[in-house]
A and B are shown apart, each in its own frame.
Chain A
Amino acid sequence: MPSMGADMDSGKLVEWKVKPGDRVKKGQVVAAVETSKAVLDVEVFEDGVVEELYVEEDTDVDVGEPLARIGDGSRVGKQKPQAAGKEQTQPASETKTEPEAEPKATPKKPSAKEPAVVPAAAKPESEGRVPASPAARRKARKAGMALADLRGSGPAGAIVLRDLQSAQPSKPATRPGPGPGFDRGQMRAAIAAAMSRAKREIPHYYLANTVDLHAAEQWLTGYNEHQPPENRLLLSALFMKATALALARYSELNGHYAGDGFTAATQVNLGMAVHLRGGGLVAPAIMDADTLTLPELMHQLRNLVRRARGGGLRVSEMAGGTATVTALGDRGVDTVYGVIYPPQVAMIGIGRAHRRPLAVDDGVAVRLSVDITLAADHRVCDGHLGALFLNEIEQRLQQPEAL
């Protein structure tokens, strides 16, 4: 069971998408896991053959427990080894640093690979579909039930397994009931745990900067003028890109703080706090955000928001963030100061872009502008660096064509 973020230490395996003997490819989604916050897709890290599934569907599994064995296919159906600790789905952060790690306890089977999650590009999903967990989607398809006819009780009204269960006629279930799935209370508890830890352990410092968006607005209007809606950009994409570029430069804000101190990340996986309609919050990440073009970033942003609200987020996206942006949107507030999402060390807050008087040259002009803030971990860096970081974002936003 891979790590799914600081606030989740176990998950329920709700669906296997493969069976022993199946050949799998790196990046393929092999299972769905239901956590307190969402139903997530679990990806495999290596090519190989599924030899054995260790865990049955609808089982709660702690992070770090093995889920399955993947190898060259020579051991399909063989017994689970006693010391299975090495052959398991690894947290994303470990697999990135040790992608070639082999189970050292089993040198005689060098082809046995470790299935693990990898950062994968967001995969496009069809538009406007009914929000549902992957498990519920599949079960509904098997049972010939229309998702649109069901009432969802999951996050943002998403249809989860138990909704199908309750909607089914008296026909006995094919296997034991799914038990309690995630609910609002659990989501609240998960957020409470992570935020309490942040405020208990992380000495936050806070900075704010008002950024003139005149140049960004002009550029964006020109860019969007002749684009169909599916290719248009939002200011959010510019904010994300400018932030990602600044994080790449100021590595003290981009990484994880663990027991042995801070480790800077080698890539910028920019998390984005997504408000779920009806309550709750998830913070999936866009991988390598600093290397994406604006249209690519915008595409991933839309995709991520859609999947956050409708189901289909990947474990790697939930655990892989190296810093996070929070924006309270167009109806939000002028300024937002975030709470850092551990083990990250920085939260960037984007306020509401709105028109207000700004000093421009020797006069006063009414300009579109936004307050961008930083909440950073004082154990890792000081306000001086944070100020340079916010200024870097501001400078980047003055040259939108270069983003």
Chain B
Amino acid sequence: MNRDELRNAVLEELSGIAPDIDLASFDDNANLQDEYDLDSMDALNLAEAVHKRLGVNIPDQDYARMHCIAELLDYLEKKL
């Protein structure tokens, strides 16, 4: 899975959690909490979706350090 495919998969899961986010103009480097209004429950749901879809179980400690989709993709690229 290349970076684009990975990004598409992650954004698809994100849009299931926050359907109001406009993916066409999505900014990978924007803070998910501040820019896209994701709360801790949304973030947990995203971690679960990533786990189910990609099989990557991101430890809570690592996940807490990620603030944008770019950081999540960097992490997942190393694990896949």
Residues of chain A touching chain B, judged by Cβ–Cβ distance below 8 Å, are 127-131, 152, 156-157, 221, 224-225, 227-230, 232, 234-236, 277-278, 301-302, 305-306, 329-331
Contact = CB atoms under 8 A, between A and B. Distances in A.
Main secondary structure of the interface of B (DSSP, over half): helix
A331 B40 contact: no
A389 B47 CA distance: 35
Contact of A229 (B17, B37, B47, B61): B47
A163 to B, nearest CB: 13
B40 A229 contact: no
Would you list the 8 A-B pairs with minimal beta carbon distance, nearest first? A128-B16, A229-B47, A229-B48, A224-B60, A329-B39, A230-B48, A228-B57, A229-B51
A272 to B, nearest CB: 11
Contacts of A230: 48, 51-52
Contact of A156 (B20, B39, B45): B20
B19 A331 contact: no
Contacts of B57: 228-229
A303 B44 CA distance: 12
A287 to B, nearest CB: 19
Q: Give the residue among A156, A225, A277 with the most B Cβ atoms within 10 A.
A: A277
A331 B34 contact: yes
A156 B45 CA distance: 17
B24 to A, nearest CB: 14
A225 B62 CA distance: 10
A129 B44 contact: no
B16 A232 contact: no
A235 to B, nearest CB: 8
B54 to A, nearest CB: 12
Interface string B8-43: 000001001111100000000000011001011100
Given A229-B63, A232-B60, A331-B37, 12 more contacts: A127-B49, A130-B16, A225-B59, A228-B57, A229-B47, A229-B48, A229-B51, A230-B52, A277-B19, A277-B20, A305-B41, A330-B33
